[in-house]
Amino acid sequence: MNTERLERYPSIPEAERRLAEDLIYWRGGDPVAAFAAYFRERKKAPPPATALSLDERLSRYIVEGSRDGLIDDLNAKLREAAPLAIINGPLMRGMDEVGRLFNDNQLIVAEVLQSAEAMKTAVAHLEPFMEKAESATRGTIVLATVKGDVHDIGKNLVEIILSNNGYRVINLGIKVPPEELIAAYHTHKPDAFGLSGLLVKSAQQMVVTAQDLRVAAIEIPLFVGGAALTKKFAATRIAAEYGGLTLYAKDAMEGLDLANQLFSAPTREALVARIRREQTALAATASAIRETAPATPELAPPRRLERVMVPAPPDLERHVLRDVPLIHLYPYLNLQMLYGKHLGIRGLVERLLEAGDPKVLEVHEIVEELKRDAVGRGLLHAHGAYRWYRARAAGDTVALFDASGREAATFEFPRQKDGERLCLADYVRDDADDYMALFAVTCGAGVRELASAWKDRGEYVRSHALQALAIECAEAFAEMLHSRLRTLWGFPDPPELPISEKLKAHYQGIRVSFGYPACPNLADQATLFRLLEPETFGLSLTEGFMMDPEASVSALVFHHSAAKYFKAD
């Protein structure tokens, strides 16, 4: 299928959409007849693109994410307008429309990236005709993932979106310390900074970065974003430390919207006033909550969980899995995450696939091709290590012992302050030998470099899809390995249990990861790394306790039949 030739949903006239939906959902008396009658006639109508003016066609290429005919039309337009006027005129109008359609839920991430690809092709074609001094920039933004953090995918999306909407973006990469940002400020004289980070620890690193920038007397606007960051944290912690304006964006498109308002004279003042107002209100609510916080209630004693029979693992050796065939992981891919969260499909992916929804099929096609290449051309590699330890709980602590009986490590887990007062240590016996497994897996080797090369070539959809596939393969690997451990441990899942149920954790025991709500202490990653030595297959830990490469997952595995996921505080 040539996806570029597909017409986008919002471009299909309302009446035609209704006819197609009537057919899919079998609405009305005879939807087939109505559909056939309409389209039999419509075939005779001229294709809509030729009815459009040259400017409208140029905008449309961008909105449709299509390059079929784009260069010819650009050459025609060059006979009547300067290249910069073409970029700032019909092409940018197209990108503005893409932003509007995305915010209106009519376009998905993958389609926005296709539009960015068309924009990049157009600008690259026009650039040689431009004067050296000419520049179409709305502003320069220095973008970076903060110190200790290897998060790339979110930051790269921001780069693609901003750089194809008229901004000059200087992407400093990952693990960027404040000194480097300060140096970049002096070298590039940017109009704003953009900081990204995945974890809570990175949000805290943003506070430190804001303080350092302030000490360096830097006050340009500071955009911040990331999965674990909230508007409230940005207002009460980062903005409070920074000398200039701090702007939080929940996603790349909101970042673009804010940048457009900020760097356009008519909207700037109103935006700054709104953000300051919102941040003052958030800070006031936060301090009111602190003041009225009730005294810590008397803690109910924790309930003792049933002491279950302990299954014995096959051994206590360290096992290394190198180059696990990707086809063993693929069945464990969570398509809701991959197609939904990362590529933007809205709704239940499984159901949409079954119904033959065109958008989901398009995304499916892109991912399937990449999956084939990942295997055939060796784009992704899956490595991991696992090991069981003898374990014994004492209060909220679990001690691990190696095969010789020597204490190898201890983990102290937080206990819930109210409710069931759960603590992970409750899942390990305190009166007899018990066992726990640890593992670390990665599918990220080489992904950063390849995704970056594709991004620089303007292959945005593939670049983003590769990063998304890698991180979801890491998660799939974790799920597959956990399933294998249950089998080896002597309590396999029922053979009829489908993988879709495993993805909902409908099995005995749990797999938790440091940084998740039941065991939030990320510093424990260092102990897990000491025990598993994943460095031997290229997986290392940053000073922020993040695993490098990005597409990696670590876990603790408990067998207790009553074990469940919970938040400790």
| Site residue total, ligand B12 (CB under 6 A) | 42
Please tell me whether residue 316 adopts helix, strand or coil conformation: coil
Please list the residues that pair with 412 across neighbouring strands. 397
Interacting residue with ligand B12 among 417, 504, 517, 561 (CB under 6 A): 517
- As measured in angstroms, the least distance from the Cβ of 192 to ligand B12 is 9
Contacts to ligand B12 from residues 322-361, by CB under 6 A: 341
Segment interacting with ligand B12 (CB under 6 A) among 58-66, 248-256, 358-366, 398-406 = 248-256
Contacts to ligand B12 from residues 38-67, by CB under 6 A: none
Largest CA distance in the chain: 85
Q: Which is nearer to ligand B12, 165 or 196 (CB)?
A: 196
Alpha-carbon distance 380 to 445, whole Å?
7
Interacting residue with ligand B12 among 62, 249, 335, 476 (CB under 6 A): 249
Burial of 322 (0-12, 13-18, 19+ CB in 10 A): exposed
- As measured in angstroms, the least distance from the Cβ of 292 to ligand B12 is 27
- As measured in angstroms, the least distance from the Cβ of 297 to ligand B12 is 26
Alpha-carbon distance 467 to 465, whole Å?
5
Burial 230-266, CB ≥16 within 10 A → b, else e: eeebbbbbbbebbbbbbbbbebbbbbbbbbbbbbeee
**Interface mask (CB under 6 A) for ligand B12, residues 197-226, using x and -?**
-xxxx---------------------xxxx
Confirm or reject binding of residue 163 to ligand B12 (CB under 6 A).
Answer: no
CB neighbours of residue 329 within 10 Å? 25
Q: Number of H helices and number of E strands within the chain? A: 22, 14
- As measured in angstroms, the least distance from the Cβ of 101 to ligand B12 is 16
CB neighbours of residue 335 within 10 Å? 21
Please report which helix (H) or strand (E) contains residue 548, including its range.
strand 547-548
Q: Which is nearer to ligand B12, 92 or 172 (CB)?
A: 172
Interacting residue with ligand B12 among 148, 154, 313, 384 (CB under 6 A): 154
- As measured in angstroms, the least distance from the Cβ of 157 to ligand B12 is 4
Q: Which is nearer to ligand B12, 189 or 567 (CB)?
A: 567
**Contact assessment for residue 238 and residue 222, using Cβ atoms and an 8 Å cutoff:** yes
Segment interacting with ligand B12 (CB under 6 A) among 58-66, 124-132, 206-214, 251-259 = 251-259
Q: Which is nearer to ligand B12, 249 or 423 (CB)?
A: 249
**Contact assessment for residue 539 and residue 442, using Cβ atoms and an 8 Å cutoff:** yes
Q: Which is nearer to ligand B12, 66 or 209 (CB)?
A: 209
**Interface mask (CB under 6 A) for ligand B12, residues 405-444, using x and -?**
----------------------------------------
Confirm or reject binding of residue 275 to ligand B12 (CB under 6 A).
Answer: no
- As measured in angstroms, the least distance from the Cβ of 161 to ligand B12 is 8
- Residue 95 token pair: 């990108």
Interacting residue with ligand B12 among 474, 476, 556, 568 (CB under 6 A): 474
Segment interacting with ligand B12 (CB under 6 A) among 188-196, 311-319, 372-380, 416-424 = 188-196
The three-state DSSP-derived secondary structure of 20-53 is HHHHHCCCCCCHHHHHHHHHHHHCCCCCHHHHCC
Confirm or reject binding of residue 151 to ligand B12 (CB under 6 A).
Answer: yes
**Contact assessment for residue 557 and residue 437, using Cβ atoms and an 8 Å cutoff:** yes
Alpha-carbon distance 463 to 471, whole Å?
13
In the chain, % helix, strand, coil (3-state, to 5) comes to 50, 15, 35
Contacts to ligand B12 from residues 531-560, by CB under 6 A: 546-547, 550-554
Confirm or reject binding of residue 515 to ligand B12 (CB under 6 A).
Answer: yes
**Is the bond into 549 cis (omega within 30 degrees of 0)?**
yes
Q: Which is nearer to ligand B12, 7 or 449 (CB)?
A: 449
Residue 182 dihedral angles phi and psi, to the nearest 5°:
-65, -40
Interacting residue with ligand B12 among 190, 255, 414, 458 (CB under 6 A): 255
Location of structure tokens 């830990």: 541
Confirm or reject binding of residue 227 to ligand B12 (CB under 6 A).
Answer: yes
Q: 24-30: which pairs have CB atoms within 8 A and are 24 or more residues apart?
A: 24/355, 24/356
Interacting residue with ligand B12 among 252, 329, 437, 568 (CB under 6 A): 252
Residue 167 dihedral angles phi and psi, to the nearest 5°:
-100, 145
Confirm or reject binding of residue 228 to ligand B12 (CB under 6 A).
Answer: yes
- As measured in angstroms, the least distance from the Cβ of 355 to ligand B12 is 25
The gap from C-alpha 484 to its chain's centroid, in whole angstroms, comes to 27
The binding site for ligand B12 (CB under 6 A) comprises 150-151, 153-155, 157-158, 194-196, 198-201, 223-228, 249, 251-252, 255, 341, 471, 474-475, 513-517, 520, 522, 546-547, 550-554
